[in-house]
Amino acid sequence: MDEKSPQTERVIQTNTIVEVKRLTYTYPKQETRILDDLSVNISANELVTLVGKTGSGKTTLALCLNGLIPHVVGGKVEGSVSIGGLSPLTERVGLMATVVGLAFQDPEAQLFNLYVEDELAFGCENLCVPREEISRRVKQFSELLGLSSFGKGLCSNLSTGQKHKVAIASIIAMKPKLLVLDEPLADLDPLSALDFLACIEKLKLKEDLAVLVMEHKIDDLAARADRIIVLDGGRIIANGHPREVLEEHGQYMFSHLGIRIPQIVELAIKLKGRGVSLKPLPLTPKEAFDVISRFHPHFISPPLEYPQEKGETELEIQELSFAYIHGGKEILKDVDLEIHSGEFVALVGANAAGKTTLAKNMVGLLKPDKGRVLLQGDDICKIPSASIVKRVGYVFQRPECQFVRETVQDDVSFSVDISKESHPESEKLAADLIERFGLKDHLNAPVDTLSRGQKRRLGIISMLTLGQRVIILDEPTTGQDWRATTTLMKLLKTLSKETCLTVIMVTHDMRVVAEWAERVLVMRQGEIRFDGRTKDLFADPSLLRESSLAVPPIVELSDLFCQNGASHCFPHLSIEEFVNSVEFDI
Amino acid sequence: MTPRRLLFSYEQKNSFLNSIDPISKLFWVVAIFICSLLTSHALPQLFILITIFLIGTFLAKISIKEYGLIVGLMGVFSVSFFIFQSLVIGGPTVLFRIGWLPFSAEGMDIAGTVALRGLTLVTAGRVFVGATNPRDFALALVQRLKVSYVFALMILMVLRYFPLFEEEYRELRDARFVRGIQETKGVRRIFNSMKDYGIPLLSRGLRRAETTSWALDSRAFRAFHQRTYMHEIGISKKGILFVLASAALMIIGLAMNYCI
């Protein structure tokens, strides 16, 4: 342990904060190089986005930057790393904490204190910052990240998104020179994510900070980042200004790496296929509007949509109210709702709006305090649990908690065995689902070894094997790349069309909502504030704002054309819709 | 999101006992424990118990309902213990009989002392915990009694992770519900619960422990010999007065004990 106060030890000699030279790393007892001859520099005041598919080496690089590799994790390291003049390969992790702040993906694992204010102060206390200064920083950074009202509250009472913010604020309060954030937006609702990015930008300038963000969704980051680095197989395949990287490698990143590139860039790639080359490559809807306008676009009317006949009522909710503590704050207030057979519904809203609570009431995991939930006409409180699970399936945000057997085959067989008597077709149904969901080659694989996307698909299979007609998915896209997300949505859509399966998904992902949902329920403070067609939701900006919902870039772009007098104006919800309805006078 | 209270129910209240420092309260509760253990007659033991109830009710604003299940259960246990022990211990001065069972003054005195002692200890513990913020208590141990900060943080982390553990247990239970697994009943249930929940909870906990230890290192935990604190926990004058007043009452209790 060191005797000197760390405040005097920080030595920053140049504007370059991070210097990584020819870094190669292999995990203990493995032979494959996770990082392979990697060199990168990051300067103060620079926001760098690091992208790559799962397993490309992003988190490993982060661990190398603060010394957890090699001091704690071990393994074989070659090359050199310097952060603010200190080398994490030789200095202790504790000392590196004076210059590197690393926020991990799981917020639960990095909050150690009972109260929010103590958590914010924790790092500063360890660095021996004087008490008055700690109080000043706690106040400053909790205000900056919108946490002021939670200061005296318990960490365990926060939502996951809020916990993530607390962990990050606590690290920022230590005033590092390099801030490394591993998927910081994953648990935030769309507007909170935008606010958070704005805070990071402000902070970067104010504190002379170098920021490295690892994210799957870069729609909002691309326009804000100074640089994008693309990792593939432990090597940097692109490193430069977002516009240049996306122009040169966008197609490859999208189709080969499955990275969710900005929707506007995806649009530019699609239009290029139609002979319309957008130069310079737009990153934001405003930029796209300016570039596309030069080609004199005009929009043709969409084919008329006839209202579809409603199917049977699968779920009916009548005046439902719910509080976790008897007589306590109501999380759901007088919710009235009907969901029909074959509908594809998205349940959206800000963090803690009551979405998951409503979903759990729909499947009998929570019982209403007032009102009724009717499942296929029967009161859910009056039917046996065995019957509920045969009518409605629920896939958790972490589907692994649902697995009850060790291998894929055994886990699916478990459901088949339960339903054999009442549903003789279940074996055939399971085989069909395994084939459709692409798990046929993984039947003997242990469930732990599946990727996140495969786990999610297995979770869905086991929820449909009992012949359920309704499936509820809690945040089905969290932590998945765009390819896995699109595959999953396509499969669900096909099932919904072919078998009249009712799909209800609780999500923050507004791009998924726009592209796949036919009906949206918007929740705010326990009430349903909107229930209608997806198109109608995106035509109501004030409602979106009030409910902390963001507009996908393609919708924003089509709205810009509408505002500027384009004929046949209507919101385009997907790239395909936009591309199919636009014509150019070139 | 379920709002949670801390384990063993600390509650932020605007009471006298809440406002005094944890070290004074610790001295108070330790003094009561010692005094209760030194008391060998039922009457002074009852005096101490009544004193604690009055302090809890008026100085810590704890309602009868809030004394809660633990004190309630202890009360039931104490009464049963008193009756049983009174019969077992016996003595020459038989006060009355129920049927052929004799109740002696000596037996009732000893049984009453032990039964009331149990109730006294639990009630004093409830009053102390209900009025002492665990964070302040942990900090006081470190700053005033020179206990290692690692130990204090360990206590805080147990309290911090308990609700999470509870939440994960609930999630597993819900996940099993949607898979159509019925909970078994009786002793078999306990065995099955250990198997079905224990292993996943443990493996998840271990996985998290690795990240937690990385996160602690990343926040410079134990990087330097000393650390500073945002909250300084002192010993208040009010606290000292409270300890002195309580000590006087305890002396009265002990005096009663030796006069009998």
SS (H, E, C) A15-62: CEEEEEEEEEEECCCCCCEEEEEEEEEEECCCEEEEECCCCCCHHHHH
Buried/exposed A212-221: b ≥16 CB within 10 Å, e otherwise: bbbbbbbbbb
- Please give the pLDDT value at position B232: 92
B240 in the same domain as B124: yes
Work out the angle at residue A559's Cα, subtended by the Cα atoms of residues A554 and A563, and round it to the nearest 5 degrees: 155
Residue A393 in this model has a pLDDT that exceeds 50: yes
Report the residue of A59, A111, A125 to disrupt the B interface, i.e. the one with the largest count of B CBs within 10 Å.
A125
Q: Provide the number of CB pairs (under 8 Å) joining chain A to chain B.
A: 182
Chain A hits for B157, Cβ within 8 Å:
112
Q: B22-38 vs B42-54: helix axis angle to the nearest 10?
A: 160
In this predicted model, what pLDDT tens digit does every residue of A253-294 receive, in sequence order? Answer: 988 888 889 999 999 999 998 889 998 999 999 999 999 999
What is chain A's mean pLDDT, rounded?
Answer: 89
Tell me, yes or no, whether B112 lies in a domain.
yes
Chain B hits for A455, Cβ within 8 Å:
none
> Å from A419 to nearest chain B CA?
9
Q: How many C-beta atoms lie closer than 10 Å to residue A236's C-beta? A: 20
What is the span of the domain harbouring residue B174?
146-218
Residue A2 in this model has a pLDDT that exceeds 60: no
In this predicted model, what pLDDT tens digit does every residue of A169-190 receive, in sequence order? Answer: 999 999 999 999 998 887 777 7
Instruction: Give A11's pLDDT tier (boundaries 50, 70, 90).
Output: very low
B79 in the same domain as B160: no
Tell me, yes or no, whether B157 lies in a domain.
yes
In this predicted model, what pLDDT tens digit does every residue of A196-225 receive, in sequence order? Answer: 899 899 889 888 999 999 987 788 899 999
B213 in the same domain as B88: no
- Tokens standing for A33? 């190089």
- Please give the pLDDT value at position A419: 67
B60 in the same domain as B28: yes
Instruction: Give A586's pLDDT tier (boundaries 50, 70, 90).
Output: low
Strand segments, DSSP code E, in A65-216 are: 76-83, 100-103, 178-182, 210-214
A371 backbone dihedrals φ, ψ, rounded to 5°:
85, -175
B24 in the same domain as B121: yes
Select the residue of A123, A167, A404 nearest B179 (Cβ to Cβ).
A404
Select the residue of B178, B179, B228 nearest A128 (Cβ to Cβ).
B228
Buried/exposed A24-61: b ≥16 CB within 10 Å, e otherwise: ebbeeeeeebbbbebebbbbbbbbbbbbbbeebbbbbb
Q: How far apart are CA B135 and CA B147, in angstroms?
A: 14
Residue A532, CB-side half-sphere exposure with 13 Å CA sphere: 9
DSSP assignment letter at B184: P
Instruction: Give A136's pLDDT tier (boundaries 50, 70, 90).
Output: very high
Select the residue of A109, A117, A155 nearest B215 (Cβ to Cβ).
A109
In this predicted model, what pLDDT tens digit does every residue of B220-241 receive, in sequence order? Answer: 999 898 999 999 999 999 999 9
Share of chain A above pLDDT 70, in %: 95
- Please give the pLDDT value at position A99: 95
- Please give the pLDDT value at position A186: 79
Tell me, yes or no, whether B107 lies in a domain.
yes
B246 in the same domain as B119: yes
In this predicted model, what pLDDT tens digit does every residue of A73-129 receive, in sequence order? Answer: 999 999 999 999 999 999 999 899 999 999 998 888 999 999 999 999 999 999 999
Q: Which amino acid is at A423?
A: H
- Contact (CB, 8 A) for B109 and B42: yes
Residues of chain B with pLDDT below 50 are 1-4, 6-7
B66 in the same domain as B91: yes
Chain A hits for B135, Cβ within 8 Å:
113-115, 118
Q: How far apart are CA B142 and CA A413, in angstroms?
A: 55
Residue A571 in this model has a pLDDT that exceeds 90: no
- Please give the pLDDT value at position B260: 72
Tell me, yes or no, whether B138 lies in a domain.
no
Residue A331 in this model has a pLDDT that exceeds 90: yes
Instruction: Give A307's pLDDT tier (boundaries 50, 70, 90).
Output: low
Q: What is the ipTM of this complex?
A: 0.85
Q: How far apart are CA B252 and CA B35, in angstroms?
A: 11
Tell me, yes or no, whether B88 lies in a domain.
yes
Give the residue with greater pLDDT, A217 vs A317. Answer: A317
Q: How far apart are CA B48 and CA B91, in angstroms?
A: 25
Total domains in the fold of chain B: 2
> Å from A131 to nearest chain B CA?
5
- Please give the pLDDT value at position A392: 94
Chain B hits for A174, Cβ within 8 Å:
219-220
- Please give the pLDDT value at position B133: 93
Q: Which domains does chain A have, with CATH numbers?
A: 7-248 (3.40.50.300), 266-295+558-584 (no CATH), 313-551 (3.40.50.300)
B197 in the same domain as B125: no
Chain A hits for B153, Cβ within 8 Å:
112
Percentages of chain A per state (helix, strand, coil), in multiples of 5: 40, 25, 35
Give the residue with greater pLDDT, A328 vs A48. Answer: A48
B112 in the same domain as B51: yes
- Contact (CB, 8 A) for A66 and A230: no
DSSP assignment letter at A8: G
Interface contact B177, partner A, CB < 8 A = yes
- Please give the pLDDT value at position B6: 46
Chain A hits for B218, Cβ within 8 Å:
66, 68, 93, 97, 100-102, 171
B189 in the same domain as B115: no
**Coil/strand/helix, residue A335:** strand
Distances (CA, A) of A253 to A134, A169, A367, A574, B143: 43, 32, 46, 19, 55
Instruction: Give A10's pLDDT tier (boundaries 50, 70, 90).
Output: very low
Q: Which of residues 221 through 240 in chain B touch A, CB cutoff 8 A?
A: 221-232
Q: Which helix (H) or strand (E) holds B219?
A: none
- Contact (CB, 8 A) for A513 and A244: no
Tell me, yes or no, whether B249 lies in a domain.
yes
- Please give the pLDDT value at position A304: 65
Tell me, yes or no, whether B5 lies in a domain.
no
- Please give the pLDDT value at position A420: 64
Mean pLDDT of A474-488: 84
